[in-house]
Amino acid sequence: MTTPSRSSLSARSADHVVAAIPAAWLAVFFLAPLGFTVVFSFARSVFGGVELAFTFENYRTALTGFNGATFLRTIIFAVSASALCLAAAYPVAYFLARHTGRRRAIAVVLILVPYFSSFLIRIMALHMLMSRGGFAETVLNALYLHGGPLDVLDTQTAVFIGMVYAYLPIAIVPLFVVLDRIPKPLLEASRDLGASPLKTFVFVTLPLSRPGVATAVLLTVVPMLGEMVIPRLLGGSKGVLMGQAISSQFLQSQNYALGAAMAVLVLLAVGVMVVLLARLTKGFAEIGQ
């Protein structure tokens, strides 16, 4: 019986090649650069460059004063914008999963299409909409919701609106997927046992949608932690968040070591979010299969 073992050996080699291609590519163009950032975050910044060392000086600078405040603000901002996104997305996902019937595919596509068109151009247009004399002002004045010129640009509110705008679709999708997979008989059972629709929602649907909630939060909070375009375009000088602060360390101040430490802090914040959200979905591995 030499043939099977030989074929299984060659089977392995082909499979190893298939696995090695992405592993090698990503090791060089993704993991190695991240490794550089981690190493340089402990380096010493000297005039005109960086000197390899092992110091926590960069982390101290990154966590105190103006930088520390930016880091804290970024976390609060990302968490609250993500929560707002989730609150806005949940009813949409619920509607898509339960109320769209045969038009469901179109209803889902309508949510996704904007996400696939140019991010920058949408944010630029949002800027135009929100500026003085723009459409938002006209509409709000016509509805008597606001009188006179609209001064929302270059405020934190504008950045908030922009963040929710940009990440709403990717919050809706995981929620929709999970809500769609909740077995119908469970809901019927709840109704047959006399629970009101509200009770069914609170005690059956909501707990079962936890994995979707966790994914939605993850997919929105992570890019928000590193977001640099929306704060710059909509928040002006008042909305500086981590992404922008890091980029200015690299592009303007040329303090690579400090910038690297700030980037590592963002990664750590992401790691903490992942761990917290993983706890939220504990014991859910079997759902939706």
Task: Tell me which H or E stretch contains 34.
Answer: helix 32-40
**Closest separation between CB of residue 17 and other proteins, Å?**
8
Residues 109-148 that bind other proteins (CB under 8 A): 109-111, 113-126, 128-129, 131-135
β-bridge partners, 51: 44
**Closest separation between CB of residue 146 and other proteins, Å?**
15
By CB under 8 A, the count of residues binding other proteins is 85
Residue 203 found at the interface with other proteins (CB under 8 A): no
Residues 171-190 that bind other proteins (CB under 8 A): 172
Q: Please give the single-letter amino acid code of residue 35.
A: G
Binding mask 10-29 for other proteins (x = CB under 8 A): xxxxxx-xxx-xxx-xx--x
Residues 36-75 that bind other proteins (CB under 8 A): 36-37, 40, 50
Q: Which of 76, 151, 186, 197 binds other proteins (CB under 8 A)?
A: 197
Q: Which of 55, 57, 63, 94 binds other proteins (CB under 8 A)?
A: 94
Name which of 213 and 246 has its Cβ closer to other proteins: 246
Binding segment for other proteins (CB under 8 A), chosen from 53-61, 62-70, 174-182, 252-260, is 252-260
Q: How far apart are CA 254 and CA 189, in angstroms?
A: 63
Name which of 18 and 83 has its Cβ closer to other proteins: 18
Name which of 2 and 118 has its Cβ closer to other proteins: 118
Helices (H), the chain: 2-26, 32-40, 57-63, 65-98, 104-116, 119-130, 135-142, 156-181, 184-192, 197-200, 206-208, 210-226, 229-235, 242-251, 256-280
Beta strand 44-46 with 49-51: parallel, antiparallel or unpaired? antiparallel
Binding segment for other proteins (CB under 8 A), chosen from 54-62, 162-170, 174-182, 206-214, is 162-170
Residue 155 found at the interface with other proteins (CB under 8 A): no
Q: Which of 63, 79, 92, 140 binds other proteins (CB under 8 A)?
A: 92
Tokens of 39: 């190493």
CB contact at 8 A, 10 and 18:
no
Residue 228 found at the interface with other proteins (CB under 8 A): yes
**Cβ-based neighbours of 66, under 8 Å, separated by 6 or more:** none
Q: How far apart are CA 57 and CA 258, in angstroms?
A: 9
CA-closest candidate to residue 180, choices 201, 205, 217, 207: 205
**Cβ-based neighbours of 238, under 8 Å, separated by 6 or more:** 154, 155, 156
Residues 264-283 that bind other proteins (CB under 8 A): 266-267, 270, 274
